[in-house]
Amino acid sequence: MIIDKAEVVVTSPDRNFVTLKLTTDDGLTGIGDATLNGRELAVVSYLTEHVVPLLLGRDAHRIEDTWQFLYRSAYWRRGPVTMAAIAAVDMALWDIKGKAAGMPVYQLLGGASRNGLLAYGHASGKDLPELFDSVRSHQEQGYRAIRIQTGVPGLKSIYGIASNATYEAMDGVRYDHEPAQRGARPAEEDWDTRSYLRHVPGVFEAVRNEFGPELPLLHDAHHRLTPIQAAQLGKSLEPYDLFWLEDVTPAENQEALRLVRQHTTTPLAIGEIFNTVWDYQQIIREQLIDYVRSAVTHTGGISHLRRVLDYAAQYQIKSGMHGPTDISPVGMAAAMHLGLSIHNFGIQEYMKHGAKTDEVFRQSFTWTDGFLHPGDAPGLGVELDVDEAGKYPYVQAYLPFNRLADGTVHDW
Ligand code: EZ4
Ligand code: CO
């Protein structure tokens, strides 16, 4: 089983996706997701110029050896571009191994540890009536756990709220929240932490009053707070029993979470922008988080994220894999196979992709009563239609950035 072809496919049905497609000499194909939102072409270049030439002629069965070779032989380790490229190779090789074995990937990882994966969706609204409608619509779609994001009085556009501008930029495609916008420059949003901290507890009180105590609710602070502000938010949300509070501080400083942890019992989730186990070393060992947010796509693939989650399991920390629309259907499938097999699965983020995306990527997962299942097709269970992908060339798009009232750039 020698890799004799490796192609990098860039396509933009609804949004940009980067996919690595490997073909072996006996005709098996495997695909992996390498999408890095807003920096897609950097990964394309890393793969095309530096990884593809090294893959040709290698034994496709040797997943671990290939992973170690790509990680260590580069000398320059880690980083989102490198780790997304390695992730794509890793996923594609697991896909091929599954097809060679005639088994879905989760069987190769030890088999199912559960019947399905509890998933949460994104409800949002600029005000409470719009938010309540969005929560109801998610419940009608079967979601049993819901992330809550709202507008903050005085701020024009804010992370997590589906806006008409976004729909227009996305050719009218309705995503519950897609922050990247097509165009030559990133959109500028505004931010004020004090207004946010004042407003959010009242929103959760209203949501609990409307929807009752049972519904698991989540919230994303998206890296914007200082440690003491994060502690304040965690405390103020305790009465509303959150499933988790996500990314309260910028993730680079792991120690910041110690201070947050000393002040609040609100469960914490972090890690969507982490890319190796080293980013988690201290926060897992010191039990400073409750959920690991890494995506398979951004953390070196199934092989490496499984290591992170095995380490987390020793501390009763669970998975909460990132699953926004910028994770392609291939990356989502990889997350589902991994999540189904590990013991310490927590919850899976799940936003539906657009109709065009679903035509480019033919998928075999199921969504039943709020639970995902990757399906039983051999490999990852996703087929890339290269002709269909070719209809949608890359479109430049950027994630937004924030400025404070005085013009200072703030974390987005
Ligand atoms: O901003 O995926 O929890 N989800 C998130 C996402 C991220 C985007 C960045 O590409 O924080 O909405
Ligand atoms: Co997030």
Residue range 230-277, pLDDT digits in tens: 999 999 999 999 999 999 999 899 999 999 999 999 999 999 999 999
> CB–CB of 400/186 below 8 Å?
yes
User: What is the model's pLDDT at position 156?
Assistant: 87
CB of 189 shorter than 6 A to ligand 1: no
> CB–CB of 300/71 below 8 Å?
yes
Which of 296, 269, 277, 251 shows the shortest CA–CA distance to 35?
296
> Which residue has 């991994």 as its token pair?
338
User: What is the model's pLDDT at position 105?
Assistant: 99
- Given a cut of 90, whether residue 144 has pLDDT beyond it is yes
- Given a cut of 90, whether residue 172 has pLDDT beyond it is no
- pLDDT mean across residues, the chain: 95
Atom of ligand 1 nearest to the CA of 37: 10
Q: Enumerate residues 6+ apart whose C-beta is below 8 A from 202.
A: none
Shortest-distance Cα residue to atom 4 of ligand 1: 324
CB of 220 shorter than 6 A to ligand 1: yes
- Given a cut of 60, whether residue 167 has pLDDT beyond it is no
Q: What is the mean pLDDT of residues 114-141?
A: 96
Ligand 1 mutation target, pool 175, 322, 347, 401, most atoms within 8 A of CB? 322
Is 222 part of the annotated catalytic residue set? yes
Helix (H) or strand (E) holding 211: helix 193-211
pLDDT band at residue 158 using 50, 70 and 90 as cut-offs: confident
User: What is the model's pLDDT at position 356?
Assistant: 95
User: What is the model's pLDDT at position 162?
Assistant: 74
Encode burial over 153-190: b for 16+ CB neighbours within 10 A, e otherwise.
eebebbbbbbbeebeebbeebebbbbbbbbeeebbebe
CB of 324 shorter than 6 A to ligand 1: yes
Longest dimension (CA), the chain: 61
Q: Which amino acid is at 255?
A: E
Structure tokens at 351: 């936003």
Strands 29-33 and 366-368: unpaired
User: What is the model's pLDDT at position 174?
Assistant: 47
Q: What is the DSSP string of 74-143?
A: TSS--SHHHHHHHHHHHHHHHHHHHHHHTSBHHHHTT--SSS-EEEEEEEEESSHHHHHHHHHHHHHTT-
CB of 37 shorter than 6 A to ligand 1: yes
The pLDDT tens digits for 343-373 are: 999 999 999 999 999 999 999 999 999 999 9
User: What is the model's pLDDT at position 322?
Assistant: 98
Shortest-distance Cα residue to atom 2 of ligand 1: 324
Q: What is the mean pLDDT of residues 406-410?
A: 97
User: What is the model's pLDDT at position 178?
Assistant: 80
